Structure 1
Amino acid sequence: MLETKFAKSSLMILLMVTTAMAGCIGSDDDSTSSTINVAYYLADDASANADAQGMADRLASDLGVNVNLYDVSSEGMIIQALRFGNADIGFMEGGPAWIGWKQYGLSVLAVETTTAEGATHYNASAWVLNGSDIANAHLDGDDSTDPFALMAGKTSCHTGWLKYAGMLMPMGYLIKNGYVTPVGDSTDVNSLRTTIDNHFDGSASNGNPASIPDSGALYSGYSGAIECLSEGYGDVAFAKGDDFSTVEKYCGADNASENEAWCLAMDQYVQLPSFGQSPSHPVMYNPEKLDIHTRNAILNAMLSWNDEMWVDNYPMGGQNYTGCYNTVTHQVADIPMNQCGGEILSSVTSKGYGLKAGNSQNHLASYSDLLASVPGLSEYYHSSDKYGITDAETSEQ
């Protein structure tokens, strides 16, 4: 079996595609020229720019159109460009994709895979210690005992301020289902801190106040939230569960010396039912602007890149080949390295694995419902403090 390891780019790349539809991608008039403008956002890096150009050149080859690169400076510009038809598709983060779907009518075309196995989500979950009243309420088989209701007055361990699995999704769930009552200005996301402090005020019962650490501070990040729980500072930690279990990652090695020093035995941790699924980065489009023929042509071209990898002196049929190897056809294409599908996906996706076809309901629904329940989050995402969606409206109209 041919195996390869693609380099994972740490650069943030945001892509948008604008088409004047004709010729090979949907027009009945083959004499009409077509142009695709690919807008991207990345750091000042010659190598990253070359990778983006390789993607554009390959898309041009696959679709038989001219493809140009067009620079953008924010996710807000992607949303507004899709909204007003200046762009047809864009790689986006989950938060802006939620806004784009629910407030501007955008849809999911494809979704990134975040593991070699093809995962497109992870579950956000709460963790408690075995033997605690919350754990007992979950494990006792009695529907009348609700573990989420018992969190009031306890001390919560968050991964950080406004983190998805560590704050936004659990708080959205608790607010949406009536366990937590928001306090303060409903248009100001900073009111969430007051809401958390009021609900998870362990100090009122001789415990500790909620842990909402700054980046790099004690108990920050996924490991920090579980450490906060393990060391007894907090009563409930918000992190990842199930297939991407934070507890398993830091405390699940058979050799105890490979686990974090603060870890307890695995049977001391109890995961509560998942709050919902946090999605991988989706590729978005505007169904009112992008016709189905062009949409499918772009999607099929991008999905075909999953089958390719770059090989160097790969032996096959008595000869050694260097080029872009297709794992389905077993052919090696003599094209530039940065136009090979695996190299493109390694550069333009956040984790460097690949893409799958997707749709909005399956990919964003549970996540969207939770984020929509957090007071002031939409206003924050629209502001220049986060994604600049409002500011981008004028420039893209």
Structure 2
Amino acid sequence: MPAPAGSSPGSDRSGGAGPLPEAAVPAPTPPAGGRARGRLRALDGLRLVAALMVCFYHYAGRSGDIAHSWGKSPREIFPHLAGPFSYGPLGVQIFFIISGFVICMSGWGRSIKDFAISRVTRLYPAYWAALIIITVVFTWANYKHVSKTDLLTNFTMLQMPAGAQRVLGVDWTLWAEMRFYLLFAVCVLWRGATRERVLMFCALWTAAALYAGSSKQQFLELALMPNYAPFFVGGIGLYLIYRFGHDAISWGVVAIGFLLGQRYAVQDLVAPAHSHVFYHRTQFGVIAVVTFGFIAVAVVTLVPAVANVNWRWLTTAGALTYPFYLVHEHLGWVAIDKLHHKTSLSAPVILFGTALSMLVLAYLLNKFVEKPLAPRLKKLLQARPRPAGAH
């Protein structure tokens, strides 16, 4: 999830984009009146596709810091790729659709405490490791300076509302995800998820987000995320179809999410014709990618021939997505800078080699950080408090 704090994902100054922070899409609970279904491995694979969209946007589809790493604009180095790669920020909208689906699925039947623990144990171990690694690399490469107090604040993952400088530019997306988790927990999980309660949540959030966007009141826009709410809501609608079957109301939720979502995506990502930007995205192109996102999530979850795909490597791909998202951007910029200026490797080799190296690092983080630390952190959080002074 790039550059200065507070940037929007649509501009060339953006904070980038980031994926749903799930190691792997969990096995869903059985749908009412239906049989249990297995893990949605194809959805794991789609998450990695969206992450790679974001990655190549950061490496060759935007201006700013990456131009310093390459020594000139990526548009000059990759004249045929820079345009398509400039649509990479839309990977974040695809992640939000997936997030709506997966969070509704994984939160169903859970208490708020269990839901919160699952989010903490999923998000923080890899995040802390990435934060330390990137800080060390930045210090070594003299790439970016963050004050000690801002660095310490980053360990909370609340640096954006606290007004601290971000170490990981991509973590603005985590802040959006956390606000979604809070809304969903308070409005749905507090009393237990039911179809009616989830539908009411989708309706009220959509209406409130529209009001927030038109009111121009900063707090309401911050809390209700009008630009992103339609994508989360659309994903929730797809989960309701997955769980309970096809019906007009659930498909209406998905349709409204798409129709409003494409509007906000065009508004955020299509620059006025007279403005000077890295690449002028078109309305058609943005709408096409948003359409692809909704259709792709629907296909990998609702079409049996795809939803039942049992290729285990897809789950591995899904497990790499979150750590890959955390490390790929800034570490990739440093790697490209060093490789481009100190080796004779060709630009395409550096581009794809850097992406591959970030996937390898993500694999190592998943194996040596996430897998051993997440269960320990979960056990620690689930432990009952002991009386003060007890031994």
TM-score, normalisation: structure 2 = 0.24
Structure with more of its chain in strand, by fraction: 1
Structure with more of its chain in helix, by fraction: 2
Structure of greater Rg = 1
